[in-house]
Each structure stands twice: as C-alpha cells, then as structure tokens.
Chains A and B, each alone.
Chain A
C-alpha cells in the first residue's frame, strides 16, 4: 500500500540539493499546519527527505517523537527537554573533589559541564584528579571500596569515557565534521562524547556499547548543521533525546544478556534469514547451507548499527529517512533493506564461495541507494509473512 515503488527517490542524501522541489514543498506544508498528520509525514519521508537546509532535522525529530504533532508546542517543549538534559549533565558528571550536590559551576570532573565546555578540549584522555593534599579521613576517598563511593563512580565513569572517546574519535574518519583537527570538530567530538556518556549514566544496565557512536552521529550531524543558530546551539541535547528515542527500538541488540531472547540480535538475524529464504530460496541455500556463511558474520553489524557503517554518509541519511518513516515499523524496514542488499548482490554471491560472500557483504559494493530502497519496498513485510516480533 504505502510501499509502492517510490517515484521520487532521486533525492538521495545531500547530493541532489535541488531535486525534489515537490516533496520538499509538501513536507514544509505538512510541518506548517497546526497539527501534523504523522502518517502523511511518513508517507513523504519514506521516499526521502529532500536535503533542503534544516528540513530533515525537523522531520526526523517529529518522526522520532521528540517533537510533538503540534508545532505550536515546540518552543516550550524544546526548552524543557534541553534544560532537562543540561540538568542531567550537571548532576551526573561526578567530580569527587567537589562536595556532594554542588552545582556551582566549578570546572572539574571527567567532562567539563555544558556551560564551560568550549574552554576545555580534553578528548584524548579524561581529566585526572589533580594531585594535591587530599583528606582521606572522611567517608569517601580514592581507595574506598564502598560501591556508593563517589570516587568509585568517578573511576568507573573514566573507564566508560575512555571507551566512548576511543570510538568517537573513530567515527566517520573520512569526514572533517567528526574527525577534523579544527576547533569545531573538537567541539563536535566533545558534545557527542558527553551525550553518549549521559546515555551510559542514565542506562546503567547497558551503559555504553561500541557502535552507539555510529547511531548518534547522523542525528548530531543533522542538528549541528541546522540553519537555525538556536537549534544548532542545542544540537547536543536534541541528539541525546533523539538517540534515546531511536535506540529504544534497537537497544536489545546491544544487550549481551538478551542475545538469545526473542528481541535479541540472534532472533533478529534469524528473521532476516527467514525473509531471505522466503524471497530468494536459492540464494539463501547457497549462502547459509552450502557455503556455511553464518549470517551474523555480516548481518550483526548491519542490524546493530542500522546500516550506519555500510554506505557513504549521505546514503545512510537517505536510508534512515525510509527506516524512520516505514509504516510497518523500523525493524521491519531495516530487515527488508538488508534482504535487498543480499539479493541485489545475488550474482556475485551465487558465484562465490565462503570468502567471496564474506568479503562482498562485509564491504558492500557501491550501489545506487534508490535502487536498493525501491527493491526493499517491493518485498513483503515481516508481519505480512507472519513473523511475529
């Protein structure tokens, strides 16, 4: 129904700035009403959000449920969420040298608080406690074994931060925005790092898992490039909340304890294989049975990262337009796109052995992303096939 082959798929990513004036107009119109019809927005977004400055940022915020359906409420809503985020930052960044509950803006802790962030650029390593005379006779001190010790928290936080830092500096190594040496790039890393750290602190059961950097990157990039300077200034907070929304749907894939649960990564990969088996039995048989390629060797990354590492960045944005808009759900859509990736490489895969299959799917050959999305939209949804979630 809504997934008829798209005719306006020419607007892939940022390469065709002027393409698709019509969908652009329709999207703008949809966003300007007093009440947004999200189904309409999805229908338009499914075929790609034109890369008009700022448009995709707003559409994604609505699709992710961060912005409400009533644009009149946005200013108030954004102000509240952004303040909330900054309060989290101030409360959760532990500086054991400061008295408890102090929020007087004194620099310190593993990350500078949001108010004084520009002054610091310590992405290489978290700040170490300064060496000065420390009164260790109190209840809390650096060698305290108590789990509630602020020093303990501080050390644990530093470990998390080191891991986040290692990944943030490796996010899109080909893009100046993320990995350049300018002050702006440094700030971008700093903000992404803090947003991921806040997620880790607020989700102690999961904390930070490698790959989360790839999921927050497109969000932060879009928001930081918003033509509205006010929105840009709060890109970090907005990216944090939108990341929370996005990952809520995919978080079980990151969780080791759920690997074998019905919502875990293994079950999702099995669903992908069922879909492939349904759509192209011969190819599925060749890959999984004959060549014994365990699908987790390639699909694990595809699925946990929502394809963020497989394509050029503008193509990833275009793919996410569709994933975020799919009326059958994001996971369903992701699996259909993954299935299409396999089927579109069919010729090479069928001719190949284990090694060829692995190399092809781990370094997916360049293709026109609109062809991929067109193909994916012609596949049945998992729910239509009776694959329960």
Chain B
C-alpha cells in the first residue's frame, strides 16, 4: 500500500444496495453503471456486482456496487456482502408503504452486519409513479432527520436523481475518508474499528480500462 497507485483510480469504495424485493435496486444499479433500465428485470438471487468510476475533487473514485436479494431468506447469506462496505443505499418504493415501514428493519440489519461507520442514504425510488405515491416526501425526510440519514427520491425508469444519489454518497464517503487520511500521520490506508478496510486503494490492478473515469461497465 505504500506505493502510489499506478492505476486508473485513486479510491475504491464498496457500496451496497439494500431494501425490500421489488423496490428497484437492480434497476438503480443498471441505470448508474450501464445506463440501462428494464421494466421487468429478473429477480436478484444472491448478489450482483458492478463498478463505475466517477470524479470527485479531481480524484477518480471507483465505486464497487453490490446489489443484493431482498427476501428475508437471503439475508443471512448476504451478510458477507456487507463486509468492507463503506456506503449503503437503502431503497424503498414510494408507491408501497410497507417497503418504507421495513426501512427500520434494514437499518437494524446494517447495524448488525455492517461497519458502524457506514454512510447510509435513504432512497425513495419510483418517483415517476406520482399518481401511485403512498409515502410522502415529508414523512421520509423527517424520518431521515431523526435517524441522521441523507435522503433522495429517484426514478431508475426516467433517470431522475440516480446519478445524484450515487454521487452524493460517494462524495460523502470520500470526504470522510480523505479527512481520515489527513488525520493519519503516515497516510497509510485508514481503518476503522475492527480493522476492516473502509477503503481499498490500488488493490485491483487488472481492472479493465473501460471502467475508467465515468465509463460504464458490463
């Protein structure tokens, strides 16, 4: 880690997408990493993985995004997916109240399995379905204030705010991490709590160059 990265990114952040099944996690992932949307995409079994790099303050940040199955059964097996995650987008469907009610359960899930310093953002997806809305923006906002989470509403279908949701969380993580780097005297890889890496710098040298600087992957 002492060597300066001779690679195509400065930071690698792992971000997980969680939330009830059918809220649109996979479509948020495909919209952000491949600019694709499928009205009916296959249900996710286990985990899916994609990457994309973005620029923040002149640094190239590579996001490694993990999408997980929503059903209860898959939680135990997915707990491994939280390992090393520095960010979580907790997604609910603005047209399905129950998916918002379950947000608390997902927060507990994160508390149980993820690093305590994980940056969490609540995402109300399917904002294009205005006529079917059953969770008000205000309710979600006040919940987030209470829980200390950031909040955004998105539509993976028409792309609204998808880019922004990922940009925000990655920027937040970057700010926390770069501050920690400054705080660390030797500038070595910052760690938190039980020694889990919160960022991984230049560990992945063989990554295809196509992913560099905002390119999409597949």
Contacts and interface: CB of A to CB of B under 8 A. Distances in A.
A353 interface: yes
A265 to B, nearest CB: 7
Contacts of B73: 209-210, 254-256
A167 interface: yes
A362 interface: yes
A245 B75 CA distance: 27
A363 B77 contact: no
Contacts of B70: 210
14 contacts: A163-B21, A166-B21, A167-B43, A170-B40, A209-B73, A210-B71, A211-B43, A256-B77, A259-B76, A297-B46, A297-B81, A353-B203, A353-B206, A362-B48
A359 interface: yes
A355 B43 contact: no
Contact of B47 (A169, A171, A297, A351): A297
Contact of B49 (A163, A309, A359): A359
B80 A294 contact: yes
B38 A173 contact: yes
B125 interface: no
Contacts, number: 90
Contacts of A213: 43
Interface residues of A, number: 38
Contacts of A353: 203-207
A179 interface: yes
With most chain A CB atoms within 10 A of its CB, the pick from B39, B73, B76, B206 is B73
Nearest to B217: A359
With most chain A CB atoms within 10 A of its CB, the pick from B41, B43, B217 is B43
A307 to B, nearest CB: 12
A355 B80 contact: no
Nearest to A264: B77
With most chain B CB atoms within 10 A of its CB, the pick from A305, A354, A362 is A354
A173 B51 contact: no
B42 A297 contact: no
| Top 10 closest pairs, chain A to chain B, by CB | A300-B46, A353-B206, A166-B22, A173-B40, A301-B45, A301-B46, A210-B71, A358-B49, A211-B45, A353-B204
B161 to A, nearest CB: 24
A305 B69 CA distance: 14
A296 B46 contact: yes
A304 interface: yes
B21 A356 contact: no
B48 A304 contact: no
Given A172-B42, A256-B76, A309-B42, 12 more contacts: A166-B21, A170-B42, A173-B41, A210-B69, A214-B45, A265-B77, A301-B45, A304-B46, A353-B206, A354-B203, A356-B208, A359-B218
